[in-house]
Structure formats: C-alpha cells, structure tokens
Amino acid sequence: MDSREWPPLEPWRVGIRGKCPRCGQGELFDGFLKLGPRCEVCGLDYSFADPADGPAFFVICFACVPSVLFAVWMEVTFEPSVWWHLLVSLPLVLLTCILPLRPLKGWLVASQFYYKAEEGKLVKPDGKRTD
C-alpha cells in the first residue's frame, strides 16, 4: 500500500501508545525502548526514525529534575531518615525517570513520520545540494 492511502494520524495519539505512526495498529517497539524493524500490520519500515537523545532530554528536564529537587527539599527541610528516602524518594525518582521514556520516544518517532522529518541538507547558492 502507498502511504497516500493511509489517513494521517495524530502523533501523540499513536506515539504514546507505542503504535505504528502510519496505520495506528502495529507495534512500534520491540522491547522497552528498542524500535522494531517494521510494522507487522502495514509494513512501514522504521529505519527513518531517529529520536536520538530527545526522550532522555525531555525526561531529565521535566521529570527527573523536579523529583530530585523534591527529594533535596525534603532532606533540607525535614531531615527524614534514610529509610524515607529509600521508600519514597528513590521510587519517585525512578518512576518519573523511567516510565515517561517509552511514550515520549513513541511520540517523537510518530512526529518524525507525520512531519516527514529527515536529515538536513545544505544547499549552495546555485541550488546544488552538498552531501
């Protein structure tokens, strides 16, 4: 099937569920964070996808830093025991750092497909590309 026969799907809807960005039915992942080679439903080759460190960057900025700041604030303000940090702070940091990685990676891959993102190419003033 040609990609023009598939209706465009919103990246956040299919990405956070880990589904194929073209058909919305096949699995995007082959493991926790490893992308599969292709969609088992529509055959879309996932080799176009390269989210690089994007998911990790977003998770660090918007989840890890606030949870670590919370743990530091608790330590400075209330001086809780080590057990409190082992039972509350550590699980909080781990959950906020690990759980969002997969949905964010799926969303970024689906966005790359939706917006037809590809590697940038430089163009000389005469209109010829440099590779």
- 47-76: pLDDT as tens digits: 999 999 999 999 999 999 999 999 999 999
Under the banding of pLDDT at 50, 70 and 90, the label for residue 1 is very low
Among 62, 70, 75, which Cα is nearest to 91's? 70
Looking at residues 19-33, what average pLDDT do you find? 96
Looking at residues 84-95, what average pLDDT do you find? 96
| Residue span of the structural domain in which 96 resides | 3-117
18 conformational bin, left if phi > 0, alpha if psi -120 to 50, beta if neither: left
Return the higher-pLDDT residue of 92 and 130: 92
Look up the pTM and report it.
0.84
Number of domains in the chain: 1
Asked if the structure places residue 131 within a domain, the reply is no
Identify the pLDDT of residue 120.
78
Asked if the structure places residue 10 within a domain, the reply is yes
